[in-house]
Chain A
Amino acid sequence: MTPVHFSFCSAFILGLMGLTFHRTHLLSALLCLEGMMLSLFIALALWTLQFEMTGFSAAPMLLLAFSACEASAGLALLVATARTHGTDRLQNLNLLQC
């Protein structure tokens, strides 16, 4: 694995682990999701550049557009949580707890 390939793979895995083991805030989980999107953008753009497939460079742009949609949906959920539960701490989202 070249160092470039290794670094965006490990960046994706780090973001995934940060999302899995999130601790208190909903917003830190959303930021880890953004970190995963960043590593995917870098991966697609480097794929385009290193293989010189210039027609593929529309793919990172479209990925960025769809990830903007996902980030806005996540932030809308954050705002809804802060309005109804008062805070975005995950221990307050406990309605389904027995």
Chain B
Amino acid sequence: MTYLVSLLLIALIVGLVAVASNPAPYFAALGLVVAAGVGCGVLISHGGSFLSLVLFLIYLGGMLVVFAYSAALAAEPFPESWGDRSVFGYVVIYFVGVGLMMKFFCGGWYEGSWMIIDTFKEFSMLRGDISGVAMMYSLGGSMLVICAWVLLLTLFVVLELTRGLSRGSLRAV
């Protein structure tokens, strides 16, 4: 169990190094997909199956798909991968930096006290994280309305940003 979660955490850091070293955006989106996938694995290992499902569906299936086809706007004839000279320098620096930080900051697991959520609790049909999200509809109803309002506002913001071409909000006069 510990080895599996250690592997997932290492894959998370490797995925984000792959994004942060700024290769061509195609490859950075691939690193982000890998990082989100193993992040879901970490959440499942701690018992949050619903939050992991939400991450997969909304983040990977919604937002990253939009980023993936927006990568067509950043098309180059020779995209730089992680083996090319300039990107590889960043990759090495970031790995060395993470290794140094791990030497100073990383501690122990306290394995004996690791419990998945809802162990030793009473029987329930629902896990902790699902019933917590359901609270968003009952006691947190005002936050839900605010969130819906913000999403509607963002729709109009996007519309205004992309309208107007050379007389719009972003111009190259």
Please name 17 pairs of A and B residues whose Cβ atoms are closer than 8 Å in the assembled complex, sorted by A.
A7-B10, A8-B12, A15-B20, A18-B20, A28-B25, A32-B28, A35-B16, A42-B12, A54-B128, A55-B135, A56-B132, A57-B132, A71-B67, A73-B158, A75-B67, A77-B170, A84-B172
Task: Point out the residues of chain A lying under 8 angstroms from B51, CB to CB.
Answer: 45, 48-49, 57, 60-61
Answer yes or no: B96 CB below 8 A from chain A CBs. no
Shortest CB distance B62–A (Å): 7
- Which residue of the partner chain, among B5, B43, B59, B70, contacts A75 with CB atoms under 8 Å? B70
Contacts of A95 in B (CB 8 A): 172-173
Q: Is the CB of A68 within 8 A of B129?
A: no
The yes or no answer to B90 lying at the interface (CB within 8 A) is yes
B74 touches A27 (CB 8 A): yes
CB distance from B118 to the nearest CB of A (A): 8
Beyond the given pairs A38-B35, A42-B12, A48-B51, 7 more chain A to chain B contacts, judged by CB atoms under 8 angstroms and listed by A's residue number, are A1-B106, A10-B13, A11-B35, A14-B98, A57-B128, A80-B169, A84-B172
Are A18 and B46 in touch, CB under 8 angstroms?
no
Partner of B129, one of A1, A4, A54, A62: A54
Interface 0/1 of A6-20, CB less than 8 Å to B = 111011001101100
A interface residues, tally (CB under 8 Å):
69
B59-80 with Cβ < 8 A to chain A: 59, 62-64, 66-67, 70-71, 73-74
Q: Interface on B for A, CB 8 Å cutoff?
A: 5-6, 9-10, 12-13, 16-17, 19-25, 28-29, 32, 35-36, 39, 42-43, 46-48, 50-51, 54-55, 58-59, 62-64, 66-67, 70-71, 73-74, 86, 90, 94, 98, 101-102, 105-110, 117-118, 128-129, 131-133, 135-136, 140, 143, 147, 150-151, 154, 157-158, 161-162, 165-166, 168-173
- The answer on a CB contact under 8 Å between A57 and B21 is no
Alpha-carbon gap, A54 to B10, bound state (A): 27
A interface residue numbers (CB < 8 A to B): 1-4, 6-8, 10-11, 14-15, 17-18, 21-28, 30-32, 34-35, 38-39, 41-42, 45-46, 48-50, 52-58, 60-62, 64-69, 71-73, 75-85, 87-88, 92, 95
Which of A2, A49, A53, A81 is in CB contact (< 8 Å) with B110? A2
Known: A73-B161, A81-B170. A49 touches B106 (CB 8 A): no
| Nearest-Cβ distance from residue B23 to partner chain A, whole angstroms | 8
Q: Among B28, B59, B170, B171, which residue has its beta carbon within 8 angstroms of that of A38?
A: B59
